[in-house]
Structure 1
Protein backbone atom coordinates (compact mmCIF):
# COMPACT_ATOMS: atom_id res chain seq x y z
CA UNK A 1 0.00 0.00 0.00
CA UNK A 2 2.90 2.40 0.60
CA UNK A 3 3.76 2.63 -3.11
CA UNK A 4 0.38 4.16 -3.88
CA UNK A 5 -0.30 5.91 -0.57
CA UNK A 6 -0.42 9.41 -2.07
CA UNK A 7 -2.21 8.49 -5.28
CA UNK A 8 -5.93 9.25 -5.50
CA UNK A 9 -8.79 6.82 -5.75
CA UNK A 10 -10.29 7.65 -9.15
CA UNK A 11 -14.02 7.16 -9.74
CA UNK A 12 -15.58 7.51 -13.16
CA UNK A 13 -19.03 8.97 -12.58
CA UNK A 14 -22.29 9.95 -14.28
CA UNK A 15 -25.87 10.07 -12.99
CA UNK A 16 -26.57 6.34 -13.28
CA UNK A 17 -27.52 4.11 -10.34
CA UNK A 18 -24.32 2.09 -10.72
CA UNK A 19 -22.31 5.31 -10.62
CA UNK A 20 -23.85 6.34 -7.29
CA UNK A 21 -22.95 2.91 -5.88
CA UNK A 22 -19.40 3.37 -7.20
CA UNK A 23 -19.11 6.79 -5.51
CA UNK A 24 -20.06 5.31 -2.14
CA UNK A 25 -17.61 2.42 -2.52
CA UNK A 26 -14.80 4.69 -3.73
CA UNK A 27 -15.36 7.16 -0.88
CA UNK A 28 -14.89 4.46 1.73
CA UNK A 29 -11.80 3.23 -0.07
CA UNK A 30 -10.25 6.71 -0.22
CA UNK A 31 -10.88 7.30 3.48
CA UNK A 32 -9.27 3.98 4.37
CA UNK A 33 -6.23 4.78 2.22
CA UNK A 34 -6.13 8.34 3.63
CA UNK A 35 -5.99 9.77 0.15
CA UNK A 36 -8.07 11.95 -2.17
CA UNK A 37 -11.19 10.76 -3.95
CA UNK A 38 -11.15 12.11 -7.51
CA UNK A 39 -14.53 12.14 -9.25
CA UNK A 40 -14.09 12.27 -13.02
CA UNK A 41 -16.90 12.94 -15.48
CA UNK A 42 -16.29 12.55 -19.20
CA UNK A 43 -18.38 14.41 -21.74
CA UNK A 44 -18.45 14.75 -25.51
CA UNK A 45 -20.01 17.75 -27.29
CA UNK A 46 -21.36 17.21 -30.77
CA UNK A 47 -20.58 19.79 -33.43
CA UNK A 48 -23.91 21.59 -33.91
CA UNK A 49 -25.46 24.86 -35.07
CA UNK A 50 -24.79 28.36 -33.73
CA UNK A 51 -26.79 27.92 -30.52
CA UNK A 52 -24.62 24.92 -29.53
CA UNK A 53 -22.42 27.17 -27.39
CA UNK A 54 -25.34 28.15 -25.17
CA UNK A 55 -26.44 24.51 -24.94
CA UNK A 56 -22.92 23.49 -23.94
CA UNK A 57 -22.83 26.07 -21.17
CA UNK A 58 -26.14 24.82 -19.81
CA UNK A 59 -24.91 21.23 -19.95
CA UNK A 60 -21.69 22.10 -18.14
CA UNK A 61 -23.65 23.95 -15.47
CA UNK A 62 -25.80 20.86 -14.99
CA UNK A 63 -22.73 18.60 -14.86
CA UNK A 64 -20.96 20.71 -12.24
CA UNK A 65 -24.12 20.90 -10.14
CA UNK A 66 -24.40 17.13 -10.28
CA UNK A 67 -20.72 16.70 -9.40
CA UNK A 68 -21.17 18.88 -6.33
CA UNK A 69 -23.99 16.59 -5.27
CA UNK A 70 -21.79 13.55 -5.94
CA UNK A 71 -19.10 15.04 -3.70
CA UNK A 72 -21.70 15.58 -0.98
CA UNK A 73 -22.77 11.93 -1.25
CA UNK A 74 -19.15 10.84 -0.88
CA UNK A 75 -18.78 13.00 2.23
CA UNK A 76 -21.99 11.65 3.72
CA UNK A 77 -20.89 8.07 3.12
CA UNK A 78 -17.28 8.55 4.28
CA UNK A 79 -17.11 11.62 6.56
CA UNK A 80 -13.84 13.48 6.32
CA UNK A 81 -12.82 12.10 2.94
CA UNK A 82 -11.06 14.60 0.67
CA UNK A 83 -12.91 15.00 -2.63
CA UNK A 84 -11.97 16.73 -5.85
CA UNK A 85 -14.00 16.82 -9.06
CA UNK A 86 -13.03 17.11 -12.71
CA UNK A 87 -14.80 17.33 -16.05
CA UNK A 88 -12.87 16.26 -19.13
CA UNK A 89 -13.75 16.27 -22.80
CA UNK A 90 -13.39 12.85 -24.35
CA UNK A 91 -14.51 9.26 -24.15
CA UNK A 92 -14.84 7.91 -20.62
CA UNK A 93 -12.77 4.76 -21.20
CA UNK A 94 -9.90 6.67 -22.83
CA UNK A 95 -9.79 9.25 -20.04
CA UNK A 96 -9.95 6.68 -17.24
CA UNK A 97 -7.21 4.57 -18.82
CA UNK A 98 -4.97 7.62 -19.15
CA UNK A 99 -5.55 8.76 -15.56
CA UNK A 100 -5.16 5.25 -14.14
CA UNK A 101 -1.38 5.64 -14.56
CA UNK A 102 -1.33 8.01 -11.57
CA UNK A 103 -4.16 6.45 -9.55
CA UNK A 104 -4.06 3.96 -6.70
CA UNK A 105 -7.36 2.47 -7.79
CA UNK A 106 -10.11 3.05 -10.37
CA UNK A 107 -13.73 2.53 -9.30
CA UNK A 108 -16.66 2.63 -11.69
CA UNK A 109 -20.19 1.34 -12.02
CA UNK A 110 -21.01 -1.73 -14.02
CA UNK A 111 -23.20 0.37 -16.34
CA UNK A 112 -23.22 4.04 -17.19
CA UNK A 113 -25.98 6.10 -18.76
CA UNK A 114 -24.60 5.25 -22.18
CA UNK A 115 -24.77 1.49 -21.63
CA UNK A 116 -26.64 -0.76 -24.02
CA UNK A 117 -30.05 -1.80 -22.73
CA UNK A 118 -29.92 -5.45 -21.71
CA UNK A 119 -26.13 -5.67 -21.78
CA UNK A 120 -24.65 -7.72 -18.93
CA UNK A 121 -21.88 -5.22 -18.27
CA UNK A 122 -20.98 -1.89 -19.84
CA UNK A 123 -18.28 -1.50 -22.46
CA UNK A 124 -16.49 1.18 -20.41
CA UNK A 125 -16.26 -1.15 -17.40
CA UNK A 126 -14.90 -3.99 -19.54
CA UNK A 127 -12.34 -1.86 -21.33
CA UNK A 128 -11.07 -0.09 -18.22
CA UNK A 129 -10.91 -3.30 -16.18
CA UNK A 130 -8.87 -4.90 -18.97
CA UNK A 131 -6.49 -2.07 -19.68
CA UNK A 132 -5.96 0.10 -16.58
CA UNK A 133 -2.52 0.56 -15.08
CA UNK A 134 -3.82 0.02 -11.54
CA UNK A 135 -6.43 -2.21 -9.88
CA UNK A 136 -10.02 -1.63 -10.99
CA UNK A 137 -13.19 -2.21 -8.95
CA UNK A 138 -16.48 -2.50 -10.81
CA UNK A 139 -19.56 -1.92 -8.63
CA UNK A 140 -23.08 -3.07 -9.59
CA UNK A 141 -25.88 -0.55 -9.30
CA UNK A 142 -28.30 -2.65 -7.26
CA UNK A 143 -27.17 -5.25 -4.77
CA UNK A 144 -27.97 -6.34 -1.23
CA UNK A 145 -25.88 -4.94 1.60
CA UNK A 146 -23.72 -8.02 1.93
CA UNK A 147 -21.56 -8.59 4.97
CA UNK A 148 -19.77 -11.72 3.78
CA UNK A 149 -16.09 -12.42 3.21
CA UNK A 150 -13.66 -11.03 0.68
CA UNK A 151 -13.18 -13.79 -1.89
CA UNK A 152 -10.07 -14.13 -4.04
CA UNK A 153 -9.42 -16.56 -6.86
CA UNK A 154 -5.88 -17.93 -7.04
CA UNK A 155 -3.73 -20.06 -9.31
CA UNK A 156 0.08 -20.43 -9.62
CA UNK A 157 0.46 -17.23 -11.70
CA UNK A 158 2.09 -13.94 -10.68
CA UNK A 159 -1.14 -11.90 -11.14
CA UNK A 160 -2.76 -14.25 -8.67
CA UNK A 161 -0.23 -13.21 -6.01
CA UNK A 162 -1.02 -9.54 -6.57
CA UNK A 163 -4.74 -10.31 -6.33
CA UNK A 164 -4.23 -12.17 -3.06
CA UNK A 165 -2.31 -9.29 -1.50
CA UNK A 166 -4.99 -6.83 -2.63
CA UNK A 167 -7.74 -9.01 -1.15
CA UNK A 168 -5.93 -9.33 2.19
CA UNK A 169 -5.38 -5.58 2.42
CA UNK A 170 -9.04 -4.92 1.63
CA UNK A 171 -10.17 -7.43 4.25
CA UNK A 172 -7.86 -5.82 6.83
CA UNK A 173 -9.49 -2.45 6.26
CA UNK A 174 -13.11 -3.65 6.59
CA UNK A 175 -12.33 -5.93 8.56
CA UNK A 176 -13.68 -9.13 7.02
CA UNK A 177 -12.75 -12.80 6.70
CA UNK A 178 -11.02 -13.96 3.52
CA UNK A 179 -11.89 -17.01 1.44
CA UNK A 180 -9.15 -18.12 -0.95
CA UNK A 181 -10.64 -20.21 -3.78
CA UNK A 182 -8.79 -22.32 -6.33
CA UNK A 183 -10.63 -23.99 -9.22
CA UNK A 184 -9.14 -27.12 -10.75
CA UNK A 185 -10.11 -29.95 -13.10
CA UNK A 186 -8.40 -33.15 -14.22
CA UNK A 187 -9.49 -33.05 -17.85
CA UNK A 188 -10.18 -36.79 -17.87
CA UNK A 189 -12.84 -39.26 -16.81
CA UNK A 190 -11.15 -40.27 -13.59
CA UNK A 191 -12.47 -42.80 -11.12
CA UNK A 192 -13.97 -41.77 -7.80
CA UNK A 193 -10.78 -42.76 -5.99
CA UNK A 194 -8.59 -40.80 -8.39
CA UNK A 195 -10.80 -37.74 -8.05
CA UNK A 196 -10.63 -37.95 -4.26
CA UNK A 197 -6.82 -38.17 -4.41
CA UNK A 198 -6.70 -35.23 -6.82
CA UNK A 199 -8.92 -33.13 -4.59
CA UNK A 200 -6.85 -33.90 -1.50
CA UNK A 201 -3.67 -32.95 -3.34
CA UNK A 202 -5.16 -29.67 -4.59
CA UNK A 203 -6.28 -28.77 -1.08
CA UNK A 204 -2.82 -29.49 0.35
CA UNK A 205 -1.12 -27.43 -2.37
CA UNK A 206 -3.52 -24.53 -1.83
CA UNK A 207 -2.99 -24.52 1.93
CA UNK A 208 0.79 -24.58 1.44
CA UNK A 209 0.52 -21.72 -1.06
CA UNK A 210 -1.51 -19.56 1.33
CA UNK A 211 0.43 -20.43 4.51
CA UNK A 212 3.02 -17.62 4.16
CA UNK A 213 0.21 -15.10 3.75
CA UNK A 214 -1.53 -16.41 6.86
CA UNK A 215 1.66 -15.66 8.79
CA UNK A 216 1.87 -12.15 7.28
CA UNK A 217 -1.74 -11.36 8.21
CA UNK A 218 -2.21 -13.06 11.60
CA UNK A 219 -5.23 -10.92 12.55
CA UNK A 220 -7.28 -12.10 9.57
CA UNK A 221 -9.49 -15.15 9.39
CA UNK A 222 -8.22 -16.81 6.19
CA UNK A 223 -9.73 -20.03 4.88
CA UNK A 224 -9.08 -21.96 1.68
CA UNK A 225 -11.34 -23.87 -0.68
CA UNK A 226 -10.27 -26.01 -3.65
CA UNK A 227 -13.18 -26.50 -6.06
CA UNK A 228 -13.32 -28.99 -8.93
CA UNK A 229 -14.77 -26.93 -11.75
CA UNK A 230 -13.67 -26.14 -15.29
CA UNK A 231 -14.95 -22.57 -14.87
CA UNK A 232 -13.04 -20.45 -12.37
CA UNK A 233 -15.73 -17.75 -12.42
CA UNK A 234 -18.48 -20.28 -11.69
CA UNK A 235 -16.41 -21.75 -8.87
CA UNK A 236 -15.96 -18.32 -7.29
CA UNK A 237 -19.63 -17.39 -7.58
CA UNK A 238 -20.84 -20.70 -6.16
CA UNK A 239 -18.24 -21.07 -3.43
CA UNK A 240 -19.24 -17.88 -1.59
CA UNK A 241 -22.63 -16.55 -2.78
CA UNK A 242 -22.66 -13.87 -0.06
CA UNK A 243 -19.24 -12.37 -0.89
CA UNK A 244 -18.81 -8.64 -0.24
CA UNK A 245 -16.01 -8.43 -2.83
CA UNK A 246 -14.51 -10.83 -5.38
CA UNK A 247 -10.88 -10.29 -6.39
CA UNK A 248 -9.14 -11.77 -9.44
CA UNK A 249 -5.83 -11.15 -11.16
CA UNK A 250 -5.20 -10.49 -14.82
CA UNK A 251 -2.07 -10.69 -16.95
CA UNK A 252 -2.94 -7.53 -18.87
CA UNK A 253 -0.60 -4.60 -18.28
CA UNK A 254 -1.60 -1.22 -19.64
CA UNK A 255 -4.07 -0.20 -22.34
CA UNK A 256 -2.37 -2.22 -25.11
CA UNK A 257 -1.28 -5.44 -23.41
CA UNK A 258 -4.42 -5.44 -21.28
CA UNK A 259 -6.88 -5.12 -24.14
CA UNK A 260 -8.50 -8.47 -23.34
CA UNK A 261 -9.63 -9.23 -19.82
CA UNK A 262 -10.20 -12.97 -20.16
CA UNK A 263 -13.16 -15.26 -19.68
CA UNK A 264 -13.00 -15.37 -15.87
CA UNK A 265 -12.96 -11.60 -15.45
CA UNK A 266 -15.64 -11.06 -18.09
CA UNK A 267 -17.95 -13.64 -16.52
CA UNK A 268 -17.52 -12.22 -13.02
CA UNK A 269 -18.19 -8.66 -14.14
CA UNK A 270 -21.31 -9.86 -15.92
CA UNK A 271 -22.80 -12.09 -13.22
CA UNK A 272 -21.45 -11.14 -9.76
CA UNK A 273 -23.93 -9.39 -7.45
CA UNK A 274 -21.09 -7.80 -5.47
CA UNK A 275 -18.18 -5.53 -6.50
CA UNK A 276 -15.43 -7.23 -8.49
CA UNK A 277 -11.78 -6.14 -8.27
CA UNK A 278 -9.47 -6.82 -11.21
CA UNK A 279 -5.83 -6.59 -10.16
CA UNK A 280 -3.06 -6.14 -12.73
Structure 2
Protein backbone atom coordinates (compact mmCIF):
# COMPACT_ATOMS: atom_id res chain seq x y z
CA UNK A 1 0.00 0.00 0.00
CA UNK A 2 1.15 3.57 -0.66
CA UNK A 3 2.39 5.81 2.13
CA UNK A 4 -0.44 6.75 4.52
CA UNK A 5 -2.11 10.08 5.08
CA UNK A 6 -1.16 11.33 8.56
CA UNK A 7 -3.41 13.60 10.63
CA UNK A 8 -2.69 15.33 13.94
CA UNK A 9 -5.43 14.61 16.50
CA UNK A 10 -6.20 16.44 19.74
CA UNK A 11 -9.99 16.19 20.09
CA UNK A 12 -10.77 19.80 19.19
CA UNK A 13 -13.47 20.60 16.59
CA UNK A 14 -10.74 21.80 14.24
CA UNK A 15 -8.88 18.54 14.71
CA UNK A 16 -11.98 16.47 13.95
CA UNK A 17 -12.51 18.53 10.81
CA UNK A 18 -8.94 17.72 9.81
CA UNK A 19 -9.62 14.02 10.44
CA UNK A 20 -12.59 14.11 8.07
CA UNK A 21 -10.52 15.81 5.38
CA UNK A 22 -7.64 13.38 5.92
CA UNK A 23 -9.98 10.39 5.64
CA UNK A 24 -11.32 11.75 2.36
CA UNK A 25 -7.78 12.28 1.06
CA UNK A 26 -6.75 8.75 2.09
CA UNK A 27 -9.78 7.27 0.35
CA UNK A 28 -9.02 9.22 -2.83
CA UNK A 29 -5.44 7.92 -2.78
CA UNK A 30 -6.40 4.34 -1.93
CA UNK A 31 -4.09 4.37 1.08
CA UNK A 32 -4.37 4.13 4.87
CA UNK A 33 -4.99 6.81 7.49
CA UNK A 34 -2.71 7.30 10.50
CA UNK A 35 -4.13 9.12 13.55
CA UNK A 36 -1.34 10.74 15.58
CA UNK A 37 -1.70 12.13 19.09
CA UNK A 38 1.43 13.68 20.66
CA UNK A 39 2.02 14.63 24.29
CA UNK A 40 4.66 17.24 25.14
CA UNK A 41 7.04 16.62 28.03
CA UNK A 42 5.75 18.09 31.31
CA UNK A 43 7.37 21.27 32.57
CA UNK A 44 7.99 19.85 36.08
CA UNK A 45 10.41 17.02 36.86
CA UNK A 46 8.87 14.02 38.66
CA UNK A 47 9.89 13.43 42.32
CA UNK A 48 12.66 10.90 42.97
CA UNK A 49 11.46 7.33 42.58
CA UNK A 50 8.48 8.26 40.39
CA UNK A 51 8.65 6.64 36.93
CA UNK A 52 8.86 8.92 33.87
CA UNK A 53 5.59 10.45 32.71
CA UNK A 54 3.56 8.47 30.22
CA UNK A 55 -0.11 8.66 29.22
CA UNK A 56 -0.78 5.53 31.27
CA UNK A 57 1.00 6.60 34.49
CA UNK A 58 -0.48 10.09 34.29
CA UNK A 59 -3.99 8.69 34.20
CA UNK A 60 -4.60 10.01 30.71
CA UNK A 61 -4.85 6.74 28.81
CA UNK A 62 -8.66 6.80 28.91
CA UNK A 63 -8.68 10.36 27.67
CA UNK A 64 -6.31 9.53 24.81
CA UNK A 65 -8.26 6.43 23.86
CA UNK A 66 -11.50 8.40 23.86
CA UNK A 67 -10.01 11.13 21.69
CA UNK A 68 -8.65 8.65 19.16
CA UNK A 69 -11.87 6.61 19.19
CA UNK A 70 -13.83 9.77 18.41
CA UNK A 71 -11.39 10.60 15.61
CA UNK A 72 -11.65 7.11 14.17
CA UNK A 73 -15.44 7.29 14.28
CA UNK A 74 -15.29 10.56 12.35
CA UNK A 75 -12.98 8.98 9.77
CA UNK A 76 -15.30 5.98 9.39
CA UNK A 77 -18.22 8.31 8.71
CA UNK A 78 -16.30 9.68 5.74
CA UNK A 79 -14.67 6.44 4.53
CA UNK A 80 -16.15 3.32 6.22
CA UNK A 81 -13.65 0.82 4.80
CA UNK A 82 -10.49 2.83 5.40
CA UNK A 83 -7.44 1.12 6.91
CA UNK A 84 -6.85 3.18 10.09
CA UNK A 85 -3.95 3.00 12.54
CA UNK A 86 -3.38 4.94 15.76
CA UNK A 87 -0.18 6.36 17.22
CA UNK A 88 0.24 7.92 20.67
CA UNK A 89 3.68 9.47 21.09
CA UNK A 90 5.48 11.25 23.90
CA UNK A 91 7.14 14.32 22.40
CA UNK A 92 6.63 17.77 21.01
CA UNK A 93 3.89 17.77 18.34
CA UNK A 94 6.02 19.76 15.91
CA UNK A 95 8.84 17.21 16.08
CA UNK A 96 6.49 14.22 16.07
CA UNK A 97 4.59 15.36 12.97
CA UNK A 98 7.78 16.28 11.14
CA UNK A 99 9.09 12.77 11.76
CA UNK A 100 5.76 11.28 10.68
CA UNK A 101 5.94 13.29 7.44
CA UNK A 102 8.99 11.27 6.37
CA UNK A 103 6.81 8.24 5.69
CA UNK A 104 3.56 10.02 4.77
CA UNK A 105 2.02 10.88 1.42
CA UNK A 106 0.34 13.87 3.07
CA UNK A 107 0.14 15.42 6.56
CA UNK A 108 -3.17 17.06 7.50
CA UNK A 109 -3.64 19.45 10.42
CA UNK A 110 -6.42 21.73 11.61
CA UNK A 111 -6.15 25.50 11.76
CA UNK A 112 -6.90 25.61 15.50
CA UNK A 113 -6.38 23.13 18.29
CA UNK A 114 -6.34 22.24 21.97
CA UNK A 115 -3.89 20.58 24.27
CA UNK A 116 -0.68 19.45 22.62
CA UNK A 117 -1.76 20.92 19.29
CA UNK A 118 -3.02 24.19 20.83
CA UNK A 119 -2.50 27.31 18.73
CA UNK A 120 -1.57 25.06 15.83
CA UNK A 121 -1.78 27.57 13.02
CA UNK A 122 -1.05 30.87 14.71
CA UNK A 123 1.80 29.20 16.60
CA UNK A 124 4.70 27.54 14.85
CA UNK A 125 3.63 23.96 14.10
CA UNK A 126 1.77 24.35 10.79
CA UNK A 127 4.20 26.94 9.46
CA UNK A 128 7.18 24.79 10.48
CA UNK A 129 5.67 21.68 8.91
CA UNK A 130 4.92 23.52 5.68
CA UNK A 131 8.50 24.75 5.50
CA UNK A 132 10.35 21.65 6.71
CA UNK A 133 8.03 18.64 6.40
CA UNK A 134 9.05 15.84 4.08
CA UNK A 135 5.59 15.52 2.54
CA UNK A 136 2.96 18.02 1.39
CA UNK A 137 1.08 19.63 4.29
CA UNK A 138 -2.65 20.38 4.12
CA UNK A 139 -4.03 22.89 6.63
CA UNK A 140 -7.81 22.59 6.95
CA UNK A 141 -9.47 25.99 7.22
CA UNK A 142 -12.11 28.09 5.53
CA UNK A 143 -15.86 28.59 5.49
CA UNK A 144 -18.04 27.10 8.26
CA UNK A 145 -19.93 24.84 5.86
CA UNK A 146 -16.73 23.28 4.57
CA UNK A 147 -15.06 23.63 1.19
CA UNK A 148 -17.00 24.49 -1.94
CA UNK A 149 -17.47 21.01 -3.47
CA UNK A 150 -17.98 22.44 -6.94
CA UNK A 151 -15.12 24.93 -6.78
CA UNK A 152 -11.80 24.46 -8.55
CA UNK A 153 -8.43 23.58 -7.13
CA UNK A 154 -6.55 26.89 -7.10
CA UNK A 155 -2.88 26.64 -8.08
CA UNK A 156 -0.48 29.49 -7.37
CA UNK A 157 1.90 29.51 -10.35
CA UNK A 158 5.17 31.36 -9.85
CA UNK A 159 7.26 29.94 -12.69
CA UNK A 160 10.08 28.55 -10.55
CA UNK A 161 11.57 25.04 -10.84
CA UNK A 162 10.77 24.58 -7.14
CA UNK A 163 7.09 24.99 -8.00
CA UNK A 164 6.96 21.83 -10.15
CA UNK A 165 6.01 19.66 -7.19
CA UNK A 166 3.13 22.00 -6.33
CA UNK A 167 1.90 21.83 -9.93
CA UNK A 168 1.99 18.04 -9.89
CA UNK A 169 0.15 17.94 -6.57
CA UNK A 170 -2.53 20.36 -7.79
CA UNK A 171 -3.21 18.41 -11.01
CA UNK A 172 -3.34 15.15 -9.06
CA UNK A 173 -5.78 16.62 -6.53
CA UNK A 174 -8.00 18.03 -9.25
CA UNK A 175 -8.04 14.67 -11.06
CA UNK A 176 -8.86 12.72 -7.88
CA UNK A 177 -11.59 15.17 -6.87
CA UNK A 178 -13.08 15.44 -10.36
CA UNK A 179 -12.59 19.20 -10.11
CA UNK A 180 -11.35 21.88 -12.45
CA UNK A 181 -8.01 23.60 -11.96
CA UNK A 182 -7.59 27.37 -11.80
CA UNK A 183 -3.94 28.21 -12.49
CA UNK A 184 -3.36 31.76 -11.27
CA UNK A 185 -0.16 33.59 -12.18
CA UNK A 186 0.32 37.04 -10.67
CA UNK A 187 2.83 39.35 -12.32
CA UNK A 188 4.27 42.87 -12.27
CA UNK A 189 3.63 43.45 -8.58
CA UNK A 190 5.10 46.36 -6.70
CA UNK A 191 5.18 45.11 -3.12
CA UNK A 192 6.41 41.60 -4.05
CA UNK A 193 8.87 42.14 -6.88
CA UNK A 194 8.47 39.76 -9.82
CA UNK A 195 11.58 40.75 -11.74
CA UNK A 196 15.19 41.74 -11.24
CA UNK A 197 17.59 43.38 -13.65
CA UNK A 198 16.63 44.96 -16.99
CA UNK A 199 13.15 43.41 -17.00
CA UNK A 200 12.24 44.76 -13.58
CA UNK A 201 8.92 46.68 -13.80
CA UNK A 202 10.28 49.11 -11.25
CA UNK A 203 12.57 50.49 -13.96
CA UNK A 204 11.53 53.79 -15.45
CA UNK A 205 10.85 52.40 -18.93
CA UNK A 206 9.04 49.10 -19.51
CA UNK A 207 6.94 47.67 -22.30
CA UNK A 208 3.92 46.47 -20.32
CA UNK A 209 2.27 44.71 -23.24
CA UNK A 210 5.43 42.81 -24.11
CA UNK A 211 5.82 41.89 -20.46
CA UNK A 212 2.23 40.67 -20.32
CA UNK A 213 2.72 38.56 -23.46
CA UNK A 214 5.88 37.00 -22.00
CA UNK A 215 4.09 36.13 -18.77
CA UNK A 216 1.22 34.58 -20.72
CA UNK A 217 3.70 32.50 -22.72
CA UNK A 218 5.42 31.44 -19.50
CA UNK A 219 2.11 30.30 -18.04
CA UNK A 220 1.30 28.30 -21.18
CA UNK A 221 4.72 26.64 -21.23
CA UNK A 222 4.52 25.68 -17.56
CA UNK A 223 1.05 24.14 -17.79
CA UNK A 224 1.12 22.47 -21.22
CA UNK A 225 3.05 19.31 -20.21
CA UNK A 226 0.75 18.76 -17.23
CA UNK A 227 -2.37 19.33 -19.31
CA UNK A 228 -1.19 16.56 -21.65
CA UNK A 229 -0.53 14.27 -18.67
CA UNK A 230 -3.93 15.04 -17.11
CA UNK A 231 -6.29 15.54 -20.09
CA UNK A 232 -9.33 14.93 -17.85
CA UNK A 233 -8.64 18.09 -15.84
CA UNK A 234 -10.26 21.25 -17.17
CA UNK A 235 -7.74 24.07 -16.72
CA UNK A 236 -8.46 27.78 -16.54
CA UNK A 237 -5.36 29.91 -17.03
CA UNK A 238 -5.63 33.28 -15.33
CA UNK A 239 -2.99 36.00 -15.64
CA UNK A 240 -3.42 38.83 -13.14
CA UNK A 241 -1.48 42.04 -12.66
CA UNK A 242 -1.94 42.58 -8.96
CA UNK A 243 -0.45 42.03 -5.54
CA UNK A 244 0.21 38.33 -5.09
CA UNK A 245 -1.28 37.83 -1.61
CA UNK A 246 -4.41 39.82 -2.38
CA UNK A 247 -5.07 38.06 -5.69
CA UNK A 248 -4.66 34.54 -4.26
CA UNK A 249 -6.73 35.18 -1.14
CA UNK A 250 -9.51 36.74 -3.22
CA UNK A 251 -9.47 33.79 -5.65
CA UNK A 252 -9.69 31.33 -2.74
CA UNK A 253 -13.28 32.52 -2.08
CA UNK A 254 -14.60 30.17 -4.75
CA UNK A 255 -12.00 27.39 -4.51
CA UNK A 256 -12.15 24.08 -2.63
CA UNK A 257 -8.37 23.95 -2.14
CA UNK A 258 -5.39 26.24 -2.67
CA UNK A 259 -2.04 24.72 -3.60
CA UNK A 260 1.20 26.68 -3.30
CA UNK A 261 4.90 25.94 -3.23
CA UNK A 262 6.89 26.54 -0.08
CA UNK A 263 9.38 28.70 -1.89
CA UNK A 264 10.15 29.97 -5.35
CA UNK A 265 11.47 32.63 -7.68
CA UNK A 266 9.72 35.41 -9.52
CA UNK A 267 6.75 36.65 -7.51
CA UNK A 268 7.85 34.39 -4.64
CA UNK A 269 11.42 35.70 -4.45
CA UNK A 270 13.56 34.43 -1.61
CA UNK A 271 10.91 32.44 0.21
CA UNK A 272 11.53 29.49 2.51
CA UNK A 273 8.00 29.67 3.68
CA UNK A 274 7.54 33.28 2.76
CA UNK A 275 4.89 35.91 3.12
CA UNK A 276 2.68 34.56 0.33
CA UNK A 277 2.40 31.01 1.69
CA UNK A 278 2.00 32.25 5.25
CA UNK A 279 -0.68 34.71 4.16
CA UNK A 280 -2.60 31.83 2.58
CA UNK A 281 -2.23 29.70 5.71
CA UNK A 282 -3.70 32.51 7.80
CA UNK A 283 -6.24 34.12 5.51
CA UNK A 284 -7.36 31.82 2.68
CA UNK A 285 -11.08 31.07 2.50
CA UNK A 286 -10.51 27.34 1.97
CA UNK A 287 -7.96 24.70 2.93
CA UNK A 288 -4.35 25.25 1.88
CA UNK A 289 -1.77 22.68 0.73
CA UNK A 290 1.87 23.74 0.84
CA UNK A 291 4.19 21.58 -1.25
CA UNK A 292 7.95 21.73 -0.95
CA UNK A 293 10.03 21.45 -4.10
CA UNK A 294 13.05 19.23 -4.55
CA UNK A 295 15.94 20.06 -2.25
Query: Aligning the two structures, in what range does the TM-score lie when normalised by the shorter sequence?
Result: 0.7 to 0.9
CA-CA distance at 1:209 after TM superposition: 2.1
In the alignment, does 2:90 pair up with 1:78?
A: no
CA distance in 2, matches of 1:203, 1:35: 38
In the alignment, does 2:37 pair up with 1:41?
A: yes
CA distance in 1, matches of 2:153, 2:6: 21
Q: State the match for 1:124 in structure 2.
A: 125
* Contact kept in structure 2, 1:27 and 1:78, CA below 8 Å: yes
CA-CA distance at 1:78 after TM superposition: 1.6
In the alignment, does 2:10 pair up with 1:14?
A: yes
Give the 3 Å change call, closer, same or farther, for CA 208–53 of structure 1 in structure 2: closer
CA-CA distance at 1:190 after TM superposition: 7.1
CA-CA distance at 1:120 after TM superposition: 6.6
Q: State the match for 2:227 in structure 1.
A: 214
Match of 2:152 among 149, 153, 157: 149
Secondary structure of 1:211's aligned partner? helix
RMSD between aligned residues: 2.7
Instruction: State how 1:102-251 maps to structure 2 within 5 Å.
Output: 102-114=103-115, 121-140=122-141, 143-145=144-146, 146-147=148-149, 148-185=151-188, 187-188=201-202, 194-229=207-242, 231-251=243-263
CA distance in 2, matches of 1:141, 1:272: 7
Give the stretch that moved more between structures: 182-191 or 45-54.
Answer: 45-54
CA-CA distance at 1:237 after TM superposition: 1.7
* Contact kept in structure 2, 1:245 and 1:277, CA below 8 Å: yes
Q: State the match for 2:26 in structure 1.
A: 30
CA distance in 1, matches of 2:138, 2:181: 17
Give TM-score, length-normalised by structure 1.
Answer: 0.86
Give TM-score, length-normalised by structure 2.
Answer: 0.82
Q: Which runs of 5+ in 2 are unaligned?
A: 189-199, 265-270
* Contact kept in structure 2, 1:182 and 1:226, CA below 8 Å: yes
* Contact kept in structure 2, 1:176 and 1:220, CA below 8 Å: yes
Q: Which runs of 5+ in 1 are unaligned?
A: 253-258
* Contact kept in structure 1, 2:142 and 2:286, CA below 8 Å: no
CA-CA distance at 1:54 after TM superposition: 9.5
- How many residues align? The count is 267
Give the 3 Å change call, closer, same or farther, for CA 156–7 of structure 1 in structure 2: same
1:74-132 Cα distance to aligned partner (Å, 9 max, x none): 01112211111111001100001111111111110112215777x97332111111110
